[in-house]
A and B are shown apart, each in its own frame.
Chain A
Amino acid sequence: MSAFDFLLQGLGTAADPMMLLYALIGVTLGTAVGVLPGIGPALTVALLLPVTYRLDPAGSLIMFAGIYYGGMYGGSTTSILLNTPGESASIITALEGNKMARKGRGGPALATAAIGSFIAGLIATLLLAFLAPWIVKVALVFGPREYFALMVLAFVTVSAAFGDSALRGLTSLFLGLALACVGIDQLTGQARLSFGVPELLDGIEVTTMAVAMFALGEALFIAGQRDQAEDEVTAVKGSVWMSRRDWARSWKPWLRGTVIGFPIGAMPAGGAEIGTFLSYATEKRLTRHPEEFGDGAIEGVAGPEAANNASAAGTLVPLLTLGLPTSATAAIMLAGFQQFGLQPGPLLFATNPTLVWGLIASLLIANAMLLVLNLPLIGLWVKLLTVPKPWLYAGILLFATLGTIGANPSSFELGMLLGFGVLGYVMRLFGYPIAPIVVGLILGPMAEQQLRRALAISQGDWTTLVQSPIAATLLAIAALALIVPLILRARGKGEMLSQLAGEED
């Protein structure tokens, strides 16, 4: 049988009414946990693993697939509506998405996220189905020096999230980088900046930090503004649905986001966040409406959301082709495979084609199910903004705390959540952007470890960083992205840039 026949057969299995029910349960659970800040899909799948023990392999895998995609999607809803990312991969979505929601365009923002997620999920799942063995070969070429170059590129693009002031953006970024140094140094096993506190040995949890900075900081900020003029939040202005113009501005970012997110997700050390950073930066560079960025540009939601879901499919490439779980959720799915006596690995496609294609088919079904579930819900979600603020933010605080404690039951973690919440409030108060600090916390350790690994392998020879063509190319792109705008600005004192932007419009 050819791959295509297998896929059709898999779709046949997955279209069984019982299977569709499992898929529905999966995507609903996934969306729910994605929405709750701090609780990730990994914990949900782990909790459900004993339950699925009694189900057949096909049914439980379909449910896992639903949770996985649902979780990736659900994080965006709270990002957009409440400026509270449920997962670290939807941090970037909050930048433009929440601005849109505040202007009454929450509906189109949620719609472009949902449809973008669907399209990216669809394309990426098909790529997974037909190109996985080739993509994984490319992904394996990425060693420490290539990853380091990719991180450098990601760092350069962070400036896209700085807002108006580069100084404030950099301050926030370096604060994040400093916090990233806390904990056991992975390469030597020695503790850094942990001051003898055992809870700090594992470093600062990114989700705790993100939830604190965004959710708690936001809640405090809103509470602090109580007596001032009522915020200009409008629940719905115009249609809840995307206009023709929204579609025209969204479809290219969806495709570009997919192209960026999928390969990075497939890299064993890539991760979902980097794809969203790069996608956001790309959209900001290419947009015809640069003036809207930072103030609710739909491209800034469409691209990163597509990248986020494409990378979720990408993560399954190394899992299915090599048996490499590159995310916590993938690791638990691997445990799920083993529960049914299957060993994912290079031979899985050959030895268990029915199951692999069944999983891929269930991903396609789960993806479609998500769209069906979420598009009608948009109208309902947007109503969330009309909930009186005290109620809404009290609820956010409750869920943020519950999620953090659920994932990491320790009073120290709770203290950190509150401490960073206050920091987030103070930063908002003085106009420092929040995203760079979280980005620094995510990228800092990755870049440091990859650089040190590269240097350890080359025994201290720095030229190793430019000896690989891929690394050299990525570094060159990063250098161009940094230097070209500076030169343009120096020449025309910004005139050329604004001229360029003006011409295109």
Chain B
Amino acid sequence: MKQFVLASLFAGAVAVPAMADYTIIAPANPGGGWDQTARTMQTVMQEEGISKSAQVQNVPGAGGTIGLAQFASQNNGNPDALIVGGYVMVGAILTNNSPVSLKDVTPIARLTGEYEAIVVPAASSIQDIQGLVEALKADPGAVSWAGGSAGGTDHIAVGLIAKAAGVDPTKINYIAYSGGGEALAAILGNQVTAGISSLGEFEAQIQAGTLRLLAVSSPERLEGVDAPTLQEAGLDVTLENWRMVAAAPGLSDEQKAKVTADIEKMAKSENWQKQLADKGWMDTWLAGPEFDAQLEKDISATEAILKDIGLVK
């Protein structure tokens, strides 16, 4: 049994390159969104016959920048190496002053995404997004926001909301939690004024009536979600927390086209769509020049808001 454990750990953690078609780096610990994306890709690619034995390797740390740096330096020109990443990485690259950025890898496609949701505890006196904005305008420090890590999507969203409401983004009182439900616990326990995270994190609580959903960060109203968009509320903010897949740097055009075709085949398969539905992920497929342009836009907008909040000099 011990040998089996060792063998499986060895296969999973120290992937043997000769055996694997694709090695997918999840630049995070097991259990998080990137890890789940990578492992879902692994399952679907194997079942769809795209890759005989795809491997997932976790290289956690610093908002994915450790994994990204290791990936870029070790896989130059390797057409079998993939890395999962996302919007959080864009912010982390800027705040950590990472020497390696998304320009140093070959972005292939955006796969899934989630919109941000702004909630208050059911017991809160704030009834709608206007109420929250008024409180924010009256005294930004008195409105405490619980969300994910500093400089991450949630923090950026709060900065954007403050800016759109005409409040100094450096004055926001953002309380960062390290995911894992700690932020949700703080909101449910009435420790903070409001909470912000991906809609999926709050969905069950909203249904149960323990949280009140004030607004979502999508461009249009979401189906089956009873809340206005931030834009409807007069705040010009849309934000999507997307996840992407990238290939190694230094690929030829043919190699890049092959990887893109493989990923597209995976993302268009029924199997993938079923997985998305099971997990409650949105299909936000975008590839090619459109994706490159969107990425460019997201990076410059993120840099601007992080400077406004004061996280990036």
Q: Please list the residues of chain A having a beta carbon within 8 angstroms of any beta carbon in chain B.
A: 28-29, 32-33, 36, 39, 42-47, 49-50, 53, 139-144, 184-191, 198-199, 201-202, 268-269, 318, 322-329, 331-332, 334-335, 338-341, 343-347, 402, 405-410, 453, 456-457, 459
**What separation, in Å, do the CA atoms of A45 and B31 have in the docked complex?**
9
Shortest Cβ gap from A335 to chain B (Å): 5
What 18 new A-B contacts, CB under 8 Å, besides A140-B189, A347-B207?
A32-B2, A42-B31, A47-B12, A50-B39, A140-B185, A144-B191, A184-B96, A188-B176, A201-B65, A269-B182, A318-B181, A324-B182, A326-B181, A335-B36, A338-B278, A339-B279, A346-B204, A409-B14
| Chain A residue with Cβ nearest B311 | A189
Which of B14, B31, B43 contacts A332 (CB under 8 A)?
Answer: B31
Which of A33, A344, A410 contacts B204 (CB under 8 A)?
Answer: A344
Residue B98, interface by CB 8 Å: yes
A contact residues around B234 at 8 Å (CB) = none
Which of A43, A139, A339 contacts B30 (CB under 8 A)?
Answer: A43
Give the interface size bracket for B toward A.
35 or more
**What separation, in Å, do the CA atoms of A225 and B94 have in the docked complex?**
50
What are the 7 closest A-B residue pairs judged by CB atoms, nearest first? Answer: A345-B204, A324-B181, A189-B150, A46-B30, A331-B31, A143-B191, A268-B185
Shortest Cβ gap from B53 to chain A (Å): 12
Shortest Cβ gap from A456 to chain B (Å): 6
Residue B69, interface by CB 8 Å: yes
**What separation, in Å, do the CA atoms of A43 and B13 have in the docked complex?**
9
Which of A44, A186, A318 contacts B178 (CB under 8 A)?
Answer: A186
Residue B184, interface by CB 8 Å: yes
Which of B29, B35, B182, B280 contacts A268 (CB under 8 A)?
Answer: B182
B62 in contact with A341 (CB, 8 Å):
no
A contact residues around B184 at 8 Å (CB) = 322, 324
Which of B39, B66, B280 contacts A49 (CB under 8 A)?
Answer: B39
B contact residues around A142 at 8 Å (CB) = 189
**What separation, in Å, do the CA atoms of A49 and B26 have in the docked complex?**
15
A186 in contact with B29 (CB, 8 Å):
no
A contact residues around B192 at 8 Å (CB) = 457
A contact residues around B141 at 8 Å (CB) = 459
B contact residues around A187 at 8 Å (CB) = 150, 175-176
Known contacts A268-B185, A346-B208; is-contact A406 B14 (Cβ 8 Å): yes
A50 in contact with B66 (CB, 8 Å):
no
**What separation, in Å, do the CA atoms of A191 and B8 have in the docked complex?**
35
Known contacts A184-B62, A457-B175; is-contact A322 B185 (Cβ 8 Å): yes
**What separation, in Å, do the CA atoms of A327 and B181 have in the docked complex?**
9
| Chain A residue with Cβ nearest B3 | A32
B contact residues around A338 at 8 Å (CB) = 278-280
Shortest Cβ gap from B136 to chain A (Å): 14
Which of B14, B30, B189, B203 contacts A141 (CB under 8 A)?
Answer: B189
A contact residues around B6 at 8 Å (CB) = 402
B204 in contact with A186 (CB, 8 Å):
no
**What separation, in Å, do the CA atoms of A45 and B58 have in the docked complex?**
14
A346 in contact with B210 (CB, 8 Å):
yes
A contact residues around B39 at 8 Å (CB) = 46, 49-50
Residue B17, interface by CB 8 Å: no
B contact residues around A46 at 8 Å (CB) = 30-31, 35, 39, 58
**What separation, in Å, do the CA atoms of A28 and B3 have in the docked complex?**
12
A331 in contact with B185 (CB, 8 Å):
no
